[in-house]
Structure 1
Amino acid sequence: MVLSALLRFIYPPPSNLFVIAMSVISLVSLGNSGIMEMKGKHLQYSKLWNYGTDQKISADKKAKISSKTGMIIAYTPAFLAGVGSFVLLPVGDFRFDLLRSAITIHFFKRIFEVLFVHKFSGWMDTEAATTITLSYFISSTSMIYSHYLIQGFPEPQRDLKYFGALLFLVGISGNFYHHYLLSKLRIKGDKNYKIPQGGLFSLVNSYASVPQALYVA
C-alpha cells in the first residue's frame, strides 16, 4: 500500500547493482552518523572541532586543516561530478538535466560561499574532511547515474518536477541569504559566536538562548 502510494510520485528504483549498493551504503552511513551525533560524537570541524573534553584531547593529536580548506575539498568533487555529467553525458531528458543542474548549482553555491561569504575560525579533522567529501561525492554521482538510467521511463502519475524546481530555487536563495546574514555577525578578527538576527532567524531565536546553541557561518 505504502509503496503503491509512493510510486505515484517517484520512479521505481532502477535494477542496477551500483545504485542499490550506494543506496544501502548511504542509508547505513547516514544512520550511523545520526546515532553518533545523538551520542555527542560529532564530526570534528569548525565550531565542533574541539567539542567536549575527550574530543579536545583527541583532536590535538590528529592531523588537521583549516575549515575553509576542508570545506573547499568537501564540495569540489561533487561539483565536478555535476559539471562532468554534462561533458560525459551531453544529451539528457529534461528531468535528468534538472537533477544534475540542481546538484551543480548547489555545490557551486557552497564553494562560492566558502570563498567569499563565510568567515571561518576553526579547524577540520582530515578524517572528517575525507568522510564528508566522500559522502557528498557518492551521493551526487549516485543520483546522477540513477536518473541517467531511468531516462525514458513513464512519468510518475503526479509530476512534481516543476514544483520541485521552484522549491529548490526558493530554498537555495533563502539559504544563501541567511548565510550572508550569519557572515555579517562577525567583524574582522572576531571569533565569537552570536545570536543571528534578521530573515527567518527570529522564528528560531527562542531556541538559541544557551551559548552552546549559537551559530555563525
Structure 2
Amino acid sequence: MAKMVESFVFEEASSTYTKAFYGLTLLGLCYLGISEAIGKHLNYSKFWNSSSSSNKSTQILLPSKVGMLMAYTPSLLAGVSSFWVFSDGGGIRVLMLKSAITLHFLKRDLEHRVEGFPEPLVDLKYVGVLMFLVGVIGNFYHHYLLSKLRDENDKDYKIPRGGLFSLVICPHYLFEILTFIGISFISQTLFSYLCSAGSATYLLIRSCATKNWYLSKFEDFPKNVKALIPYVV
C-alpha cells in the first residue's frame, strides 16, 4: 500500500519543521470538519448569524464581499509573488502549480517547491490541469447562477435553479473540491493531498448543513436533491 502511495507523491525532504507543519495543518482541517459536524459553523453565507448569543456583542460584522476579499486576497498575492520568488526554474510542473493557485484565488476575488527531487512514478500533472480547469469553470458558473437569484434590494433566500442545482444544493462546492484535487495532482506532494482531503471533508459537511438549512426554510425543497455529490450524498 505504501509503495502504491509513493508512486503518486514526490519524495520530499523530511524535517521536524515539515512534519510539525503537516501535523498542525491536518489538526486545523480536522477541527474545521468536526466543528461543522457539531453545528459550530464558520460565520459566513447562510450561517453568518450562527454564533451563540453571548459572543454576538463582540462580533464585527462585515459585508460578504468585503469579508471574502479579505480572506482570499492574501492567497492571491502569495500566488502572484511565487512567480518572482521561484523564478529560477522548477520545470513545467512548478509553472502549472503557480498558475493554478494564482488563477484560483484570482477567480475567488472576482465573484514548495519540488525541484531536485525525483519525479513520481505516476505523472498526474496534466490530469490535474484538466480537473483544475473543469473545477474553476464549474465553480464560477454556479456562483454566477447564485448571483442571479436575487437583485440588490432582495434579501430573501431562494432555492437555486439551473446547472447541477437540480441534483445537488452545493455544486459550487463540488467544483471547488475538483479545483483543489487538480492543484494537488499538479503538485503531487503529501501536503497538497492532505489539504485537498481536509478541504473536501469540510465542504462535504458544510454542504450537508446547507441542505438541512434549506429543508428547514423551504417546505417545497426537492427531496431528491443531494448535498454535494449527485445521487450519492
Partner Cα distance (2:15, 2:99) in 1: 23
Cα distance in structure 1, aligned partners of 2:80 and 2:13: 23
Query: Structure 2 CA distance, aligned partners of 1:96 and 1:212?
Result: 46
Amino acid at match of 2:158: K
Q: TM-score, normalised by structure 2?
A: 0.69
- Return the alpha-carbon distance in structure 2 between the equivalents of residues 212 and 59 of structure 1: 23
| 1:204 corresponding residue in structure 2 | 168
Unaligned stretches of 5+ residues in structure 2: 170-210, 222-226, 228-233
1:86 aligns with 2:83: yes
Conservation of the 8 A alpha-carbon contact between 2:11 and 2:118: no
1:102 matched to 2:100 = yes
1:82 counterpart letter in structure 2: G
How many residue pairs are counted as aligned between the two chains? 177
Partner of 1:38: 37
Match of 2:145 among 181, 191, 211: 181
Instruction: Note closer, same or farther for the CA distance 1:212–1:6 as it changes in structure 2 (3 Å cut).
Output: farther
Residue of structure 2 in register with 1:49 after alignment: 48
Q: Which residue does 2:200 correspond to in 1?
A: none
Alignment partner for residue 133 of structure 2, among 161, 166, 169? Answer: 169
Q: Check the 8 A contact 1:76/1:111 in 2, yes or no.
A: yes
C-alpha separation between the residues in 1 aligned to 2:165 and 2:60? 35
C-alpha distance in structure 2 between counterparts of 1:211 and 1:181, whole Å: 22
Contact 1:9 1:158 in 2 (8 A): yes
Q: How does 1:74-153 map to 2 (within 5 A)?
A: 74-92=71-89, 93-113=91-111, 145=112, 148=113, 150-153=114-117
Task: Output the CA distance in 2 between the equivalents of 1:80 and 1:212.
Answer: 39
- Closer/same/farther in 2, CA of residues 98 and 71 from structure 1, 3 Å limit: same
Q: Where do 5+ consecutive residues of structure 1 fail to align?
A: 114-144
Report deviation, 1:56: 4.2
Distance 1:78 1:18, change over 3 A: farther
RMSD: 2.2
TM-score scaled to structure 1, two decimals?
0.74
Q: Secondary structure at the match of 1:90?
A: coil
CA change 1:48–1:60 in 2 (3 A) is farther
Q: SS at 2:162's partner residue?
A: coil
Aligned equivalent of 2:62, options 65, 89, 96 = 65
State the AA in 2 paired with 1:96: V
Residues 204 and 45 of structure 1: CA distance in aligned 2, closer, same or farther (over 3 Å) = closer
Q: What is the CA–CA distance in structure 2 between the aligned matches of 1:28 and 1:212, rounded to whole Å?
A: 33
| Residues 75-119 of structure 1: CA deviation (Å, up to 9, x unaligned) | 011111111111122123111111111110000000011xxxxxx
Structure 1 runs of 4+ with >6 Å offset: none
Q: Percent identity?
A: 47
- 8 Å contact 1:49–1:56 — kept in the other structure? no
Q: Give the distance between the partners of 2:56 and 2:46, measured in 1 at CA.
A: 13
Query: Secondary structure of 1:171's partner?
Result: helix
Q: Report deviation, 1:49.
A: 1.6
Residue 17 of structure 1, CA deviation: 4.1
